[in-house]
Amino acid sequence: MTDAHDVVVAGIGSGGFGAALAAARLGLRVLAIESGPELGGTSVRAGVSVWEPGCGGTGIPLDLYNRLMTVPNAAGIYTIARHCCWPEDGFYPGGECRIDPALSYRDSLVRAADGALDWKAHKERIRRVCHGVPFEPAVMARTMADMLRETGRVTLRTNTRVAAADAADGRLRSLRLDSGETVAASFFIDATGDGALCAACGAGMMVGQEPRSRFGEPAAPEEPTALVNGTTLIFRVVPAPSPAIEPLPDGVPAACWWRPAFPVASVVEYPNGDFNVNMLPTMEGQDYLRLGPEAAYAECRRRIRAAWHWYQTVLPEFRHFRIGWTAPALGVRESRRVLGEYVLTQHDLAAGLAGQNHPDIVAIADHPMDTHGAQGKGCGGVTAAYGIPYRCLIPKGMRNLLVACRSASFSSLAASSCRLSRTMMQLGQAAGTAAAIARKLGRDLPGVPPDQLRAELRRQRVALEHPMR
């Protein structure tokens, strides 16, 4: 058994990267385990290479952005150009975002209230404040790896999966990897995206929509459902040598077969002029869970080819592009979620920081409740920044395990708001920082003093108030 690490982080997507980097910067020896061939998770392999507008982007996300900006055309800031809600600007099958060199990173840290506004009535305000960060996924993966290695305290293992977990009495003792190696550590952080470590330890899990009676959320359904947020297969289009409508592959019909009409798409410009195309959504989330990753991916490939054929048909400017890359993994917005010491709910989102009474807020967010597909809630419900408590990262009853990914302790409604990459990275930063404080004080993770954790996060330039100072 290998016990050369203070903390093991499983899953090096946004949350896992934040956790591993924060822990290493504070002196811990970190084993970082990633099942894929490169770091970045959904942001890289699923092509979700756009940080949406929102206040949850200080601390490590800012450090990462500054490193990306040292590479030509690696990142930029977008502004909203055309949108299907604004037909006076001309027909567009979704929303278009274009790089604006005049904007700065700070411009991307504003979102509150936009999800609750009528887009048709507040077009100019939305255009003025909604700015995101598109980036090159390959550069992101390399930069993450470089930043971890530069600490001198992180051991990276890619193409490595956790095969089994040994846990008892609220404590995770060791992990067995698919290589046969067993690794132990004082602390563990689950950033797998679906709470795999937590589930292996017997932690309570939540899947689908909770009924209104569980948390008293006004927007929750009366009865529980199996519905989860929609899944997307993102593709990239590049300039074509000559304008044309790409032919459909054999067996792919021209008409939409899974819903009455083709979904709209979010089309975001990369700094080099290519476009990221995110169909909203490509598949219902519950269908993804039912089919499994391989069958769902194959069906989504067929759907994006049909949709792109339609986009090119209805908007001639798209004929100057062709599909140049399809993400090797699906963008999964929601799967299962951990039952933690505190569950973030719609009440927190509606209260905002001014109405919350949590002493342990470790990250802030202001993205609207944002669902895609049959959940049918759309966007809205957030009119001010709100806080995410540290207790959402503590699986109920566990002493040395934290969760720092979209599977943290959120209701389905709350998860639709706070699931964005930069917010997950800040939750990871909080988790890695908490592990370092617990190690220093000789305590279990639930015993980390909230005031010390928040003070250390502020020292790391994490904004815990809004408007940001």
pLDDT in tens, 168-181: 999 999 999 999 99
Same domain, yes or no, for 85 and 150? no
Q: Where are the beta strands (DSSP E) in 351-465?
A: 361-365, 369-370, 379-380, 386-389, 401-403
Residue 4 has pLDDT above 90, yes or no: no
How many domains does one find in the chain?
A: 3
Query: Do 301 and 153 belong to one domain?
Result: no
Q: Sort strands 235-239 and 275-279 into parallel, antiparallel or unpaired.
A: antiparallel
Region 422-434: mean pLDDT is: 98
Question: 294, 315, 332 — which closes off a domain?
Answer: 332
Residue 65 lies in a domain: no
Structure tokens at 397: 């009853």
Q: Are residues 416 and 280 in the same domain?
A: no
Domain that holds residue 171: 7-51+138-222+337-459
Average pLDDT over residues 78-93: 96
Q: 0.95 exceeded by the pTM?
A: yes
Consecutive H or E run containing 279: strand 275-279
Q: What is the mean pLDDT of the chain?
A: 95
pLDDT for the residue 180: 95
Regarding whether 254 and 278 lie in a shared domain, the answer is: yes
204-260 pLDDT per residue, tens: 999 999 999 999 999 999 999 999 999 999 999 999 999 999 999 999 999 999 999
Residues 321, 267: one domain? yes
Final residue before a domain boundary, out of 273, 307, 332: 332
> 102-117 pLDDT, tens per residue?
999 999 998 887 778 8
Residue 98: inside a domain, yes or no? yes
- Determine the pLDDT at residue 48: 97
Shared domain check, 155 and 28: yes
Provide mean pLDDT across the span 432-439. 98
**313 and 300, same domain (yes or no):** yes
pLDDT band of 373, cuts 50, 70, 90: confident
Residue 469 lies in a domain: no
**Please, which pLDDT band fits residue 422 given cuts at 50, 70 and 90?**
very high
CB 358 within 8 A of CB 343: no
Judge if 145 and 269 occupy the same domain. Answer: no
Last residue of a domain, one of 134, 154, 181: 134
Whether residue 296 sits in one domain with residue 348: no
Statement to judge: residues 319 and 405 lie in one domain: no
Helices (H), 152-264: 196-200, 212-215
Residue 2 has a pLDDT of: 52
* CB neighbour list of residue 370: distance below 8 Å, 6 or more residues apart: 115, 378, 379, 416, 417
How much of the chain, in percent, has pLDDT values that exceed 90?
93
Give per-residue pLDDT as tens, 18-40.
Answer: 999 999 999 999 999 999 999 99
Counting every residue, how long is the chain? 469
Alpha-carbon dihedral sign for residues 344, 347, 349, 352? negative
Asked whether residue 64 is domain-assigned, the answer is: no
Same domain? For 11 and 115 the reply is: no
Task: Establish if 66 belongs to a structural domain.
Answer: no
Structure confidence at residue 375 as a pLDDT band (50, 70, 90)? low
Decide if 69 is inside a domain: no
CATH number of the domain enclosing 200 = 3.50.50.60
377 pLDDT above the threshold of 80: no
Question: Is 279 part of any domain?
Answer: yes
Q: Return the pLDDT at 415.
A: 96
Q: What would the DSSP string read from start to end of 371-383? A: --STT---EE---
Pair 421, 313 in one domain: no
- Does 59 map to a domain? no
Distance CA 52, CA 49 (A): 10
Instruction: At 401, list the tokens.
Output: 């395990």
